């Protein structure tokens, strides 16, 4: 099977489309060679705004944005980004989320004007319902991660981080289905950088795909499953992992919970468990990685348990 890939040119094109409408990521020095990319400060509280905006702008340019608007299945963050971007252009957004989606995310979705439909126990159930809806309604089918335009939008983070972090060597991210990873690894590899992708050990879609040599279904059971709960990684992510300087790591839920608390106690950064997953991976690779930037990718969480 021919490899599925995006190129750095796709990321550059995405940047040209979206730069005037997004917030350039803030970067903070943590300790020694460690830096944080504070992407949880992005519109809608996560990096997902980048891909959603790139998708809708590309379709608007091509004249393929239908009157029925756009529909997406999401654990919450991608849906919020989709609804926000759709609102910029005055088109309807229908968002399918699992019944287990955190209340804070469902409420924010409705606040962005989305028609929210809760279906099933996990992301895969919401995705099936969304596919049925788009087939019947004619709405544009967006995807939380498995789309070249979504991935290219996420990849725009890399040049913003490089511009702010001197002598950058490694970018650390978390992964669900692999959209963020695909974009980041593509752009990072173009600049000779390494990408480390971290997943919960019980939400390991990309890690399992690398192990099996093809995308496979995995168990979804983690404290970070609301954002990282893809049952299967995209072929796009798998092929990107095979052809770029990237490494895959797994962490436990206890490590994720501890990392999230340490981010609060040490740096006063309140992030969701998916963002803390990337930080939890730091002890698992050697200190010879040079200057490291950890992408803290989302803040749509209830911080009351951090007090």
pLDDT over 70, % of the chain: 98
pLDDT of residue 275: 93
pLDDT of residue 297: 87
The average pLDDT across 25-46 equals: 94
pLDDT of residue 108: 87
CA distance 47 to 268: 20
pLDDT of residue 3: 55
Position of tokens 């005037």?
A: 20
The average pLDDT across 19-27 equals: 95
Confidence grade of residue 286 (pLDDT, cut at 50, 70, 90): low
At residue 94, what are phi and psi to the nearest 5 degrees?
Answer: -110, 125
Q: With a cut of 80, say whether residue 289 has pLDDT above it.
A: no
pLDDT of residue 5: 83
Helix (H, G, I), strand (E, B) or coil at 71: strand
Interacting residues of 60 by C-beta distance below 8 A, sequence separation 6+? 89
Q: Which residues pair with 172 in a beta bridge?
A: 196, 294
Confidence grade of residue 229 (pLDDT, cut at 50, 70, 90): confident
**Mean pLDDT estimate for the chain:** 92
| DSSP assignment letter at 68 | T
Q: Which range, of 17-31, 110-124, 168-182, averages the lowest pLDDT?
A: 110-124
Burial class of residue 79, CB neighbours in 10 A (0-12, 13-18, 19+): buried
Interacting residues of 266 by C-beta distance below 8 A, sequence separation 6+? none
The average pLDDT across 273-285 equals: 94
Q: With a cut of 80, say whether residue 270 has pLDDT above it.
A: yes
pLDDT of residue 71: 95
Interacting residues of 33 by C-beta distance below 8 A, sequence separation 6+? 289, 290, 291, 292
Confidence grade of residue 2 (pLDDT, cut at 50, 70, 90): low
Q: With a cut of 90, say whether residue 291 has pLDDT above it.
A: yes
The average pLDDT across 280-299 equals: 87
pLDDT of residue 298: 82
pLDDT of residue 77: 84
pLDDT digits (tens, 9 = 90+) for 54-73: 999 999 999 999 989 999 98
| DSSP assignment letter at 222 | S
Confidence grade of residue 226 (pLDDT, cut at 50, 70, 90): confident
pTM over 0.85: yes
CA distance 237 to 234: 5
């Amino acid at each position: 099977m021919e490899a599925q890939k995006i190129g750095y040119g796709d990321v550059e094109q995405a940047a040209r489309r979206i730069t005037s409408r997004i917030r350039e990521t803030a970067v903070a020095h943590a300790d020694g060679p460690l830096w944080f990319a504070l992407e949880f400060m992005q519109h809608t509280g996560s990096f997902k705004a980048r891909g959603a905006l790139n998708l809708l702008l590309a379709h608007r340019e091509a004249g393929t944005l239908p009157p029925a608007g756009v529909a997406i299945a999401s654990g919450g963050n991608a849906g919020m980004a989709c609804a926000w971007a759709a609102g910029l252009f005055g088109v309807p957004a229908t968002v399918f989320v699992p019944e287990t989606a955190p209340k804070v995310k469902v409420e924010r979705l409705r606040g962005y004007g989305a028609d929210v439909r809760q279906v099933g126990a996990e992301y895969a159930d919401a995705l099936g319902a969304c596919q049925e809806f788009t087939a019947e309604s004619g709405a544009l089918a967006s995807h939380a991660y498995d789309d070249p335009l979504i991935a290219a939008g996420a990849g725009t983070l890399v040049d913003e981080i490089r511009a702010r972090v001197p002598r950058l060597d490694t970018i650390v991210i978390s992964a669900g289905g692999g959209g963020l990873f695909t974009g980041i690894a593509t752009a990072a590899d173009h600049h000779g950088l390494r990408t480390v992708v971290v997943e919960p050990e019980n939400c390991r879609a990309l890690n399992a795909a690398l192990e099996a040599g093809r995308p496979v279904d995995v168990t979804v059971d983690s404290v970070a499953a609301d954002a990282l709960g893809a049952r299967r990684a995209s072929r796009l992510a798998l092929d990107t992992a095979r052809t770029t300087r990237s490494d895959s790591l797994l962490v436990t839920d206890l490590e994720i919970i501890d990392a999230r608390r340490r981010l609060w106690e040490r740096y006063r950064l309140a992030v969701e468990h998916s963002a803390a997953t990337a930080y939890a991976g730091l002890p698992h690779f050697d200190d010879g990685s040079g200057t490291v930037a950890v992408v803290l990718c989302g803040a749509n969480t209830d911080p009351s348990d951090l007090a």
